[in-house]
């Protein structure tokens, strides 16, 4: 009988061994998920609406686990707010509000300086105008009394970065509108293979951002149309900054939940956060990436 054949038994043993080796090999090749922490709890934007979308984006990418650290409410005691930053590969800032304790600030500085990743989302660049190290991390910020003493007003003009040191306030925007994102560095891992230009959804186009802008690269800009209340200049929208051994990705879009569901936000956000954590990007450019004509969205 065939069922009693020693050849069949040998075949079954060999097949199982090959299958087991393939399974082990596949597991070894699968990258370990990156540990991310979203910090929220205060903001001049709808943080409670934005955080679930940011969390869903990162988790659905298949590349991240996500925890959330929510601060006390404005005016409450902040001394107990002590996230364990060292547990994570990357911190996502969805926070603008009361100052952190000196202990928490020092832990945050240590985390990034020693190689931790940091992603700054939209109004997180409004935060902590008087915290020197935070401003070095984010490169540019707005509001909170920022002015020429905070650093130059940085924009893109005639194919290069301009650092305007003239007196003026930091941070403004007109009404929301669907603006075009234009790449300025097509070889950086975050932007490589992204379309050279793509349409963002109705969002606030931040302009007149100021800051130290040290160890700083602009990856993409948007034209702040004067007819839409803008400056008539190409303003930074995607930026990267080196801080010590750490990497910072700064995305100036993302006013509320709907804006964060735009693929023009999703693709650079997830790719930029992976880069901040690892220095590399493995996530592909999505099939639903918009072109220049109209934005695209996902539901979460």
What pLDDT is attached to residue 12?
43
pLDDT band at 29 (very low <50, low <70, confident <90, very high): low
pTM for this model (two decimals): 0.90
Q: For 139-164, what is the mean pLDDT?
A: 98
Q: For 74-101, what is the mean pLDDT?
A: 98
What pLDDT is attached to residue 14?
43
Encode pLDDT of 45-81 as tens digits: 999 999 999 999 999 999 999 999 999 999 999 999 9
pLDDT higher than threshold 90 for residue 228: yes
Helix then strand count (H, E) for the chain reads 6, 11
Cα–Cα distance, 7 to 174 (Å, whole number)? 77
What pLDDT is attached to residue 26?
38
More confident residue, 228 or 22: 228
What pLDDT is attached to residue 238?
99
pLDDT band at 31 (very low <50, low <70, confident <90, very high): confident
Show me where the domains of the chain are located: 33-278
* Domain spanning 33-278, CATH class: alpha beta
pLDDT higher than threshold 60 for residue 221: yes
Cα–Cα distance, 12 to 215 (Å, whole number)? 59
What pLDDT is attached to residue 30?
64
Residue 200 near residue 264 (C-beta atoms within 8 A): yes
CB-facing half-sphere around the CA of 47: CA atoms within 13 A:
21
More confident residue, 290 or 31: 290
> Which letter does DSSP use for residue 18 in this model?
H
More confident residue, 133 or 26: 133
Q: For 123-141, what is the mean pLDDT?
A: 98
Strand blocks (E) in the chain: 34-40, 64-70, 90-93, 117-121, 153-157, 160-164, 177-183, 197-203, 216-223, 234-243, 246-251
Cα–Cα distance, 182 to 159 (Å, whole number)? 12
Q: What is the largest CA-CA distance in the chain?
A: 94
pLDDT, the chain, mean: 92
Q: For 219-234, what is the mean pLDDT?
A: 98
What pLDDT is attached to residue 5?
52
């Amino acid at each position: 009988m065939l069922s009693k054949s020693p050849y069949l038994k040998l075949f079954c043993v060999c097949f199982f061994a090959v299958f087991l080796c393939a399974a082990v090999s596949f597991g070894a090749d699968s990258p370990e998920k990156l540990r991310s922490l979203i910090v929220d709890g205060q903001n001049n934007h709808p943080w409670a609406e934005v955080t679930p979308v940011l969390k869903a984006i990162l988790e659905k990418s298949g590349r991240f686990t996500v925890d959330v650290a929510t601060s006390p409410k404005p005016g409450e005691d902040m001394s107990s707010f002590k996230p364990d930053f060292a547990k994570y590969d990357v911190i996502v800032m969805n926070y603008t509000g009361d100052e952190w304790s000196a202990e928490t600030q020092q832990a945050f500085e240590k985390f990034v300086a020693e190689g931790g990743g940091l992603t700054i989302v939209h109004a997180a660049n409004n935060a902590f105008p008087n915290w020197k190290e935070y401003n070095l991390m984010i490169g540019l910020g707005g509001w909170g009394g920022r002015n020429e003493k905070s650093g130059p007003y940085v924009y893109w003009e005639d194919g290069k970065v301009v650092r305007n040191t003239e007196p003026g306030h930091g941070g403004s925007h007109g009404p929301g509108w669907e603006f075009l994102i234009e790449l300025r560095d097509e070889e950086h891992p975050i932007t490589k293979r992204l379309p050279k230009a793509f349409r963002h959804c109705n969002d606030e186009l931040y302009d007149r951002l100021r800051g130290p802008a040290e160890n700083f690269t602009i990856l993409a800009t948007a034209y702040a149309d004067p007819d839409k209340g803008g400056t008539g200049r190409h303003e930074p929208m995607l930026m990267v900054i080196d801080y010590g051994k750490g990497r910072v990705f700064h995305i100036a879009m993302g006013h509320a939940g709907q804006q964060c569901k735009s693929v023009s936000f999703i693709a650079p956000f997830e790719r930029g956060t992976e880069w901040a954590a690892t220095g590399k990007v493995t996530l592909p450019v999505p099939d639903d990436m918009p072109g220049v004509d109209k934005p695209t969205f996902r539901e979460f």
